[in-house]
Chain A
Amino acid sequence: MGVFEKVNSPRVPFLLNNLGLYAKLVEGSGPYEMKVRLVNLKDESPVMEIKMQLEWLKPGDPLELGMNFAGIPVNEFGTYEFQLYANDIFVGRALFRVDKLQLPASGPVRG
């Protein structure tokens, strides 16, 4: 399971656009209800949840899952965790950090 590791922003809150999540699953077959949760690791409070049904067609092959998210509300700096569940069983996670971006102080231009 993978995701960009770091997001920089000069301030919070903001909406995080275009975040992609990739997961590769092995050793499964048949129908699954996949659930992706995003939690703030400070207290593990949920930020977002998505559920989807899928059919694992070929048991011998890995299953690749790609999801794109837009407009995720980020209210605090810190570490966030995507958690992946298959039929309510925890199968993986990916972390990303939201750090404060220090903008250079603006001052008089010297030439």
Chain B
Amino acid sequence: MAAMQQYLENLYLEQPKPKFIPSPNSPQAVVFHEKNLQRIRVQLRAREGRPKHILLGTINHCDFRVVKPIPVHLDVRGNTVIASWRKIDEFGTGASSSLACDDLGHTIAELYLSLKADEPRLGPDLARVWGELKEHVMQRP
């Protein structure tokens, strides 16, 4: 009910028009006006694909909350996307960026629990990783 109240308060928002993006294979037409034609400059549309970096604001694990966006680097090897958090040297893989980020999220959750359990015995490298994890992710009470 509370959510509905907030929704109603936001009802005045008008939905902007979406921008449709032509597919990379669609023809890019050029019209020539022969009379005035002296010089023509054609700019080809750059192919847009998956981004190389994203900021991850959620991990696919209900026990954890992302408190600071996680910088994720996306790479492609064949049909597999690799999502890596380079600062802590962890990665996830999947058939798409989102699936790779989901996999990375599971890795982060497991690593968090494991480092939390071993916190008093962590060496300097793992202590640094633990510090980085705690800065970005927290476990829900």
Residues of B within 8 A of A67 (CB): 15
What secondary structure prevails in chain A residues at the interface with B?
A: strand
A92 partner residues in chain B, CB cutoff 8 A:
58
Q: A41-B96, A61-B6, A93-B98 are known contacts. Are A46 and B15 too (CB-CB below 8 A)? A: no
Which residues of the partner chain A approach B50 to less than 8 Å between Cβ atoms? 39, 43-44
Residue contact A44 to B15, C-beta cutoff 8 Å: no
Encode contact with A along B74-109: 1 for CB under 8 Å, 0 otherwise. Answer: 000000000000000000000111100100000000
CB contact between B3 and one of A44, A62, A71, A86 (< 8 Å): that residue? A62
B 3-58 contacts with A by CB, 8 A:
3-7, 9-10, 13, 15-21, 23-26, 47-50, 54-58
Say yes or no: A49 contacts B55, CB within 8 Å. no
| B131 touches A (CB below 8 Å) | no
Q: Which residue of A lies closest to B7 (CB)?
A: A64
Contact call A50/B18, Cβ cutoff below 8 A? yes
Count chain A residues whose beta carbon lies closer than 8 angstroms to a beta carbon of B: 42
Nearest CB in chain A to that of B22: its residue: A73
Residues from chain A with Cβ under 8 Å of B24 in the complex:
45
B134 contacts partner chain A, Cβ-Cβ < 8 Å: no
Chain A residues lying within 8 Å of B58, measured Cβ to Cβ, are: 90-92
7 A-B interface contacts by CB (under 8 A): A27-B65, A41-B96, A73-B20, A88-B55, A89-B69, A90-B54, A90-B55
Residues on A facing B (Cβ under 8 Å): 24, 27, 36, 39-41, 43-52, 54-55, 57-58, 60-64, 66-69, 71-73, 75, 81, 83, 86, 88-93
